A and B are shown apart, each in its own frame.
Chain A
Amino acid sequence: MKKYIKPLAASTGIALVIIFTAFGMMYLVENGSPLWTPIILLIGAIFFVIGCVIFDSRSRTETLAKGGIFSCGATFIVTSITGGMRYFITTPPSLEVFISSLAICMIIGMIMLSLLVRW
């Protein structure tokens, strides 16, 4: 039983991140940034430092490139999720749409985990 919980939790987590990022994109287009710009920059800087440490390699260019990409992606996701939560509270989707997208994203999340992270 234990061995199913971990991948199930991971794919559900990824699915929720994808769904809230999608809601966040809609929020961004309709209302603009949900966070104060300096806060977004600070989050980006923190993620850049964390990314450079996580993906540290012998080549400096590679470290900086990986850190930069990680920082951009993670900052966008954090900002979007913040907006996505606001959007979800103010304009909740229908249960049908939410459950369908959760199911689709769970499958995609598991595929991505097994292909990219070799779960």
Chain B
Amino acid sequence: MEQRIHIGRRNDYSIDFDLQEMFIPLKRGEEASFEMSILNHGPPTHVHLSITGEIKNRVILLRDNPYVKKEEKIPVVVRLPKDGKPRYRGEIFVSTGYGSQKSSFPIEIGSVKKKSTKKRKVKGTPHWLTLLSVSLFLLGFIFFTLFITFTYFHENPYWGCLVSSIAIVFMLLYLIGR
């Protein structure tokens, strides 16, 4: 589980998150830490991080105004008090472009319910499974195109081969893009 924040990926100072929401499983009285990566796709810039909601005093950002050239890692410490609610919710706000762009993602800390564990497992698999299924689909497409090309258009197979090679390059770029 790692949150990666992309700055300027779509356009100047745009903010995107790899995880649309975060859940940190913690028992009462426990403490944990993790890292958030800020990836800057544009020119170097200051990024401001802030926390709102119930988690304000329970999640500590060890750096809240980093200057990001390419990539910066932000250590985050999370504490769940011994006495209190089993779960706390809040949001981490990210702003850049001197405050012109602001975006946030919800974060929840607390004990794991059986139901949510199942949900997280289902959520976790598609990343590589999607990739594998897309690759297998493209592989099938390539073989199908080549089969059709060399069976029915064997006198001039160039355009069929071109379509297949586009699919291969698409597969590689798709992989790099993810």
Give A residues with C-beta under 8 Å from B.
14, 17-19, 21-26, 29, 55, 58-59, 61-62, 65-66, 69-70, 73-74, 76-77, 80, 93, 97, 101, 104-105, 108-109, 112-113, 116-118
Contact = CB atoms under 8 A, between A and B. Distances in A.
B165 A61 contact: no
Contact of B175 (A17, A22, A24, A66): A66
B170 interface: yes
A116 B164 contact: no
B173 A116 contact: yes
A113 B173 contact: yes
Contacts of A93: 158
A48 B175 CA distance: 13
A14 B166 CA distance: 9
Contacts of B176: 116-117
Prevailing SS type, chain A contact patch:
helix
Interface string B72-114: 0000000000000000000000000000000000000000000
B135 A21 contact: no
Which 3 pairs, one residue from A and one from B, show the smallest C-beta to C-beta distance?
A21-B165, A116-B177, A22-B161
Contacts, number: 91
Contacts of B41: 118
Given A29-B146, A73-B171, 13 more contacts: A18-B166, A21-B169, A22-B161, A22-B164, A25-B161, A26-B158, A61-B128, A65-B131, A73-B172, A112-B173, A116-B174, A116-B176, A117-B177
B70 interface: no
A79 to B, nearest CB: 11
A105 B162 contact: yes
A117 B9 CA distance: 9
A77 B172 contact: yes
B56 interface: no
8 contacts: A19-B162, A25-B157, A58-B1, A58-B2, A62-B131, A74-B172, A104-B162, A108-B166
A53 B128 CA distance: 16
